């Protein structure tokens, strides 16, 4: 056999592993220090009760001979796909067929797997900085990559690619910068993809954090987007499913890709757990919606406290309004990792070095509002001593 040399040559030392290692090393040397974690992009509030109850009922059904279920459909139960259409798309004037919705075990898998639909010679456009999955999966397949820098100079709005690209990964609301695209900006991308016969893989894992009615929640709010865009969503950040695993991907028939994706999934994916799908369905009940809204509001308010606090301390900060992330320029004399170390060693605060999201992330760190409010307040107090 020959190895996949693209994968073999990839650097290891995944960003979050390095953060964990440095944090552990510090904690071992200073066992009494109370380390405040403002870095990790994971949910901290427990699953809402209506979801827990729905999953309990599903487990009971599985243990009863009359209601036990084995394999479900590879693309998910119709009741969940219908609820997604009725709640997330129809109210925004978007019409989708039931078989354009594919239930997944989360956005992470599909963001990688979707690339199997395309030739490995296809060029890929990726935002820089970006969530690491897009670059990693493109590299594993050996695809040429064009990076689209998002800098303070361009207001963190990437310019359209100068040359032709085939596959475009967009993530809005953005991780790690926390910014959004306006309707006009999103329209430009759809027009580019139409002109170039490219495909947009639109990651909207943070859609629930959008606070303004002017910001599109779905790329399909843009006319013509159903011809060129696949939308990937998740219950992870919306409803606290990071450890439960459930998401969904929209592959419109107008892309010409729906049948191929179904074919691929039927071979390689045997469906999302019935229990997870019952939990996901409960997010659309009135009680489910109410508790989720409470959790999102908590994170949004935490982001506001963090944003305001950092600004008052004199930091240059971005994002944090329609997303749980704040992008913060590091003070003069530091780079991403040296400021990470400095914050850890002097304030016992863990952030995420921006350089880990791509070369343009150098000079920034990401703070996450998926934190306890008290920890955020304590962190801001400790950071006063730095200023």
Ligand X SMILES: *Cc1c(COP(=O)(O)O)cnc(C)c1O
* Distance in Å, CB of 112 to ligand X, minimum: 10
Contact 169, 143 (CB under 8 A): no
Closest to ligand X by CB, 315 or 357? 357
Our CB check for ligand X shows the closer of 247 and 309 to be 247
How many Å is the Cα radius of gyration of the chain? Answer: 21
Provide, rounded to whole angstroms, the least separation between the CB of residue 103 and ligand X: 12
Determine contact, residues 217/223, Cβ cutoff 8 Å.
no
DSSP letters along 194-233, please?
A: HHHT-EEEEE-TTGGG---TTS-SSGGGSTTHHHHEEEEE
Q: How far is the CB of 18 from ligand X (least distance, A)?
A: 18
Nearer to ligand X, 77 or 131 (CB): 131
What is the chain's length?
A: 387
Which residues contact residue 110 at a Cβ distance below 8 angstroms, ignoring those fewer than 6 apart?
102, 104, 232, 247, 249
**Residue found by looking up tokens 């000079």 in the block:** 363
Q: In a 10 Å sphere around its CB, with 0-12 CB exposed, 13-18 middle and 19+ buried, how is residue 169 labelled?
A: buried
Q: Are 195 and 159 in contact (CB under 8 A)?
A: no
Smallest distance, Å, CB 237 to ligand X? 6
Map residue 319 onto helix, strand or coil.
strand
**Closer residue to ligand X (CB): 109 or 304:** 109
CB 102 to ligand X: min, Å:
13
Q: By the 8 A CB rule, do 150 and 131 touch? A: no
* Nearer of residues 131 and 339 to ligand X, judged by Cβ: 131
Q: How far is the CB of 206 from ligand X (least distance, A)?
A: 7
Q: Which is nearer to ligand X, 58 or 232 (CB)?
A: 232
Q: Which residues bind ligand X (CB under 6 A)?
A: 41, 106-108, 131, 171, 175, 203, 205, 234, 236-237, 242, 247
């Amino acid at each position: 056999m020959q190895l996949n040399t693209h994968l073999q040559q990839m650097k290891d030392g995944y960003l979050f592993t390095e953060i964990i290692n440095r944090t552990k090393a510090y904690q071992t040397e200073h066992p009494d220090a109370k380390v405040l974690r403002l870095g990790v992009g994971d949910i901290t509030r427990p699953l809402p009760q209506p979801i827990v109850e729905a999953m309990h009922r599903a487990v009971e059904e599985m243990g009863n001979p009359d209601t036990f279920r084995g394999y479900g459909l590879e693309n998910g139960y119709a009741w969940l796909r219908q609820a997604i259409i009725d709640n997330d798309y129809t109210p925004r004037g978007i019409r989708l067929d039931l078989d354009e919705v594919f239930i997944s075990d989360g956005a992470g898998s599909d963001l990688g797997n979707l690339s199997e639909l395309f030739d490995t010679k296809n060029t890929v456009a990726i935002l820089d900085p970006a969530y690491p999955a897009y670059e990693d999966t493109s590299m594993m397949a050996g695809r040429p990559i064009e990076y689209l820098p998002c800098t303070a100079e361009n207001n963190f709005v990437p310019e359209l690619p100068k040359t032709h690209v085939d596959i475009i990964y967009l993530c809005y609301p953005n991780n790690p910068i926390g910014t959004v695209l306006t309707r006009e900006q999103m329209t430009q991308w759809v027009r580019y993809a139409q002109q170039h016969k490219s495909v947009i893989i639109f990651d909207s894992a943070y859609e629930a954090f959008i606070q303004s009615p002017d910001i599109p929640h779905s790329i399909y709010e843009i006319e013509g987007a159903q011809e060129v865009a696949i939308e990937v969503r998740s219950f992870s950040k919306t409803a606290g499913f990071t450890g439960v695993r459930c998401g969904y991907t929209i592959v419109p028939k107008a892309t010409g890709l729906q049948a191929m994706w179904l074919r691929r999934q039927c071979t390689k994916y045997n469906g999302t757990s019935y229990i997870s799908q019952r939990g996901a369905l409960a997010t659309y009940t009135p009680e489910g919606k109410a508790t989720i809204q409470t959790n999102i509001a908590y994170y949004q308010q935490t982001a506001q406290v963090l944003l305001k606090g950092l600004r008052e301390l004199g930091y240059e900060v971005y994002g944090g309004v329609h997303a749980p992330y704040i992008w913060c320029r590091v003070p003069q004399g530091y780079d991403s990792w040296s400021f990470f170390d400095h914050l850890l060693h002097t304030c016992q605060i863990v952030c995420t070095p921006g350089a880990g999201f791509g070369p343009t992330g150098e000079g920034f760190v990401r703070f996450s509002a998926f934190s306890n409010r008290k920890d955020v307040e304590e962190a801001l107090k400790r950071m006063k001593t730095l200023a």
